Amino acid sequence: MTDHITLALIQRIATELAVAPQQIAAAVQLLDGGATVPFIARYRKEATGNLDDTQLRTLDTRLVYLRELEARRATILNSIEEQGKLTETLRHAINAAQSKQLLEDLYLPYKPKRRTRAQIAREAGLEPLAHALLSDPSLEPQDEAKRFVNAEYNIPDVKAALDGARDILSEQFAETAELLSKLRDYLWQQGIVSSTVIADNTQDEGEKFRDYYNYAQSIRLIPSHRALALFRGRGAGVLQLKLTLEETLETQMPHPGEAMIAEHVGIVQRNRAADIWLASVCRWCWRVKVQPQLENELLTQLREQAEHDAILVFARNLKDLLLAAPAGPLAVMGLDPGLRTGVKVAIVDRTGKLLATDTIYPHEPRRDWHGSIAKLAHLAQTTQASLISIGNGTASRETDKLASELIQRHPELKLQKLVVSEAGASVYSASEFAAHEFPELDVSLRGAVSIARRLQDPLAELVKIEPKAIGVGQYQHDVNQRELAHTLDAVVEDCVNAVGVDLNTASAALLTRVSGLNSTLARNIVDYRNLNGPFASRAHLKKVPRLGDKTFEQAAGFLRVNGGENPLDQSAVHPEAYPIIDRILSKLGKPITAIIGKREVLATLAPSEFVNERFGLPTVRDILLELEKPGRDPRPEFKTASFREGVEKLNDLTPGMVLEGVVTNVAAFGAFVDIGVHQDGLVHVSALSSRFIKDPHEIVKAGQVVRIKVLEVDLKRQRIALTMRLDDEAPATKSNLLARWPRLLQN
């Protein structure tokens, strides 16, 4: 790419992000040099002028798009030039195009394609007829067409000649970039997407789409979850979708689309001989060429935007889940509930090492309730477990009741219980990683291990599972899988590096997500650690096979060595900045152990004193903050919800109940909350707060413990309407609250 193109891209991204071009230029140079977003955001603040990880992710995405745009621009220019049709005016228009869509519109007349009706008409010599009638509407079409009748070219009569002329003009109009842009914008602003049910598809699968059997809404106002429901219904063969205008516009004569075409090409009705024929050309162009094309384009645009929004929702929920509060280094008993197949038990020690496994059968059909409690008590006593982690799947409440009775009967064990999301546990159980970690362990028991460990440290355990399988999104199987994977991987990377990783305890899966590392290097680190013992310092990382200076630069700041040779290695201070610490120690005349965690000592320092050519004020301030609280964890304090005793199924709920629950999913229309009845309830966005809320993420996030009130329960459709406004009154009669419940929300 030439320098002037690079400069143009930098200027454009700078304008979009409202930052200085030099900030973008520095970030682009770092990204192109192999630096990761977490590394740049944390350790190159001076270079980028404090661009944060969100800005850098946006920059990275836009950079890819704009570079693809430039590559496509070059291809199109070369193609048209090879055809000998590249004029200076066209070159200027192509160079000025700021989107892929506009580029393709400009290229449309020159794009190689199969022979069209218009091409056949041109080959038959009908182009002069088409242009004559367009340029001089006073000509009589029938008379002019007689001169072009030619059986040899399959033009047997006047009608065939005029049809060919119509095809030529229609294609010409439909391939006019400026006109297409106007019509596309008009349809986006005024278009209505309507859906109707296809006959004989209202049973079984079709019933899920009942809300959309007769639905219509402005295309630009359709929420993402409704758009994806519409497309899923169409894909299932239940719904038929159309893009039209409002009825008053549709019945206008001429149709607005036809009128816009006529106006753009200069066709005006003045009662001249060819005016009626030219109007019919505009009608044909709109109905046959333009409208179907734009309908397809705009429905695709709607779907892509809806998918993008859904991916962002998934990403935000995943981030909240990954950054959920860890219980910390405590021995945990994991219970993976089940009925006929039993409850799987796995106990891990404070470091996550597996101590014991078992299977108990407290529920139907064996009902070994007392034996199960005795067995769990024995396991808890011998392993010194202090927490019980219960998966929230089938038989969760029954198993929760079992744990409650265990705690009541054996207060000496000092046990606490919690219900956790088991999303992805089964995926982990059958994964290659789990097979490598527990080759001799039954697949069903691996899930219990995951349930136990995710209470200790959700981030460390959930990174072992493909992000898509964690299941905190809507329509995740319907969206662009490449974009979904890319976005979720970025979220995991940002979360892991924001928290930091213990170099001597982290799994290969966790190390893989550290800035600069990959699966091979992560495995090499673990193998080196297993062979040589714990790392004594960050510097010893350089002894790991294939881990070079560049990788060390990218990764070292995010890796922690607790209790090692250098106390700084347990902090987020990058080794490259250790010389700054030496200057601070020299200034204070104290050893490092005398200043780490000593706020009153550090407060006496002026950050500006330690600024030099390499490290600016932002870095020095970060260093001082890190010295004050070395290795600080950005995650919140550990807190759990307590489900009400006796409320275990939908039938136990009554309007007006105030309960505690855990947010399991946040969407554009509200939040789903687990209240312990095997069916999440919905807090509509309007019921999240007494003030207006545009985005539910302003109020709640996945994993948050909330107090809610039950408003309505629909036993037949398994739906629960909740509110976080505890002074809301439950409706005395059946209302339309549950009608707002979006269908097909989760996979």
Residue 713 falls within a domain, yes or no?
Answer: yes
Kindly report the CATH number assigned to the domain that includes residue 700. Answer: 2.40.50.140
For residues 9 and 136, state if they share a domain: no
Query: Of 95, 110, 125, which closes a domain?
Result: 110
| Mean pLDDT rounded to a whole number for the chain | 91
For residues 137 and 262, state if they share a domain: yes
The gap from C-alpha 336 to its chain's centroid, in whole angstroms, comes to 29
Residue 661 CA to residue 644 CA, distance in Å, equals 9
> Do residues 355 and 452 lie in contact, with contact meaning Cβ atoms separated by under 8 Å?
no
Per-residue pLDDT at 289:
95
pLDDT at residue 553 tops 70: yes
**What is the separation, in whole angstroms, between the first and last Cα of the chain?**
43
Residue 474 falls within a domain, yes or no?
Answer: no
For residues 98 and 123, state if they share a domain: no
Residue 326 falls within a domain, yes or no?
Answer: no
3-state secondary structure 46-97: HHHCCCCHHHHHHHHHHHHHHHHHHHHHHHHHHHHHHCCCCCHHHHHHHHHC
pLDDT at residue 515 tops 90: yes
pLDDT at residue 78 tops 70: yes
Tokens at 178, concatenated: 């400026």
For residues 210 and 241, state if they share a domain: yes
Look-up of token digits 């200790």: 456
Residues 6 or more apart whose Cβ sits within 8 Å of residue 591: 585
Per-residue pLDDT at 259:
97
Residues 6 or more apart whose Cβ sits within 8 Å of residue 377: 406, 409, 410, 413
Per-residue pLDDT at 119:
95
For residues 691 and 717, state if they share a domain: yes
- Residue 566 has a CB neighbour count (10 Å cut-off) of 16
Least confident of 340-354, 361-375, 629-643: 629-643
pLDDT digits 0-9 by tens, 412-447: 999 988 888 888 888 899 998 899 899 999 998 999
- Tell me the mean pLDDT in the region 698-702: 86
Residues 6 or more apart whose Cβ sits within 8 Å of residue 507: 437, 460, 463, 464, 526
Query: Of 110, 138, 170, which closes a domain?
Result: 110
For residues 97 and 132, state if they share a domain: no
For residues 142 and 259, state if they share a domain: yes
Torsion sign (Cα): 549, 554, 557, 562: negative
Residue 441 falls within a domain, yes or no?
Answer: no
Query: Could you tell me what percent of the chain has a pLDDT over 70?
Result: 96
Residue 590 CA to residue 632 CA, distance in Å, equals 23
Helix (H) or strand (E) segment spanning residue 192: strand 192-197
pLDDT digits 0-9 by tens, 713-734: 988 878 899 999 998 887 765 5
pLDDT at residue 382 tops 80: yes
At how many degrees (to 10) do helices 127-135 and 158-174 cross?
70
Residue 429 falls within a domain, yes or no?
Answer: no
Alpha carbon of 675 to those of 324, 410, 658, 705, 745: distances in Å?
A: 18, 26, 10, 10, 18
Kindly report the CATH number assigned to the domain that includes residue 289. Answer: 1.10.3500.10
Per-residue pLDDT at 733:
59
Q: What is residue 682's DSSP assignment? A: E
pLDDT at residue 28 tops 80: yes
pLDDT digits 0-9 by tens, 466-478: 888 887 777 778 8
Angle at 224 between CA 697 and CA 486, to 5 degrees: 75
Residue 342 falls within a domain, yes or no?
Answer: no
Q: Where do runs of H (alpha helix) occur along 97-205? A: 100-107, 117-123, 127-135, 141-146, 158-174, 177-190
pLDDT at residue 498 tops 60: yes
Rg (CA), the chain: 33
Residue 638 falls within a domain, yes or no?
Answer: no
pLDDT digits 0-9 by tens, 568-606: 999 999 999 999 999 999 999 999 999 998 999 999 999
Phi-psi region of 50 (alpha: psi -120 to 50; beta: other; left: phi over 0): left
For residues 132 and 59, state if they share a domain: no
The residue range of the domain holding 264 is 117-308
**Helix (H/G/I), strand (E/B), else coil: 251:** coil
> What band does 24 get if pLDDT is binned at 50, 70 and 90?
very high
Tokens at 265, concatenated: 């090409």
For residues 187 and 41, state if they share a domain: no
Per-residue pLDDT at 4:
58
Residue 704 CA to residue 701 CA, distance in Å, equals 6
Alpha carbon of 104 to those of 73, 93, 515: distances in Å?
A: 9, 12, 38
> What band does 521 get if pLDDT is binned at 50, 70 and 90?
very high
Query: Of 266, 289, 308, which closes a domain?
Result: 308
Per-residue pLDDT at 745:
39
pLDDT at residue 131 tops 50: yes
For residues 47 and 81, state if they share a domain: yes
Per-residue pLDDT at 744:
39
pLDDT digits 0-9 by tens, 618-650: 999 999 999 998 878 888 888 767 778 788 888
Per-residue pLDDT at 519:
95
Residue 447 falls within a domain, yes or no?
Answer: no
pLDDT digits 0-9 by tens, 282-308: 999 999 999 999 999 999 999 999 999
Look-up of token digits 């409706």: 731
- Tell me the mean pLDDT in the region 707-715: 91
Query: Could you tell me what percent of the chain has a pLDDT over 90?
Result: 73
Total structural domains within the chain: 3
- Tell me the mean pLDDT in the region 611-617: 93
For residues 88 and 178, state if they share a domain: no
For residues 232 and 270, state if they share a domain: yes
- 388-411 burial, b if ≥16 CB within 10 A, otherwise e? bbbbbbbbbbbbbbbbeebbeebe
What is the amino acid identity at position 110?
Answer: Y
> Where would I find the beta strands (DSSP E) of 198-297?
214-218, 239-244
Per-residue pLDDT at 475:
74
Tell me which residue of 361, 362, 425 sits closest to 389, measured CA to CA.
425
Residues 6 or more apart whose Cβ sits within 8 Å of residue 630: 567, 568, 570, 571, 572, 596, 597
Torsion sign (Cα): 684, 689, 691, 692: negative
Kindly report the CATH number assigned to the domain that includes residue 39. Answer: 1.10.10.650
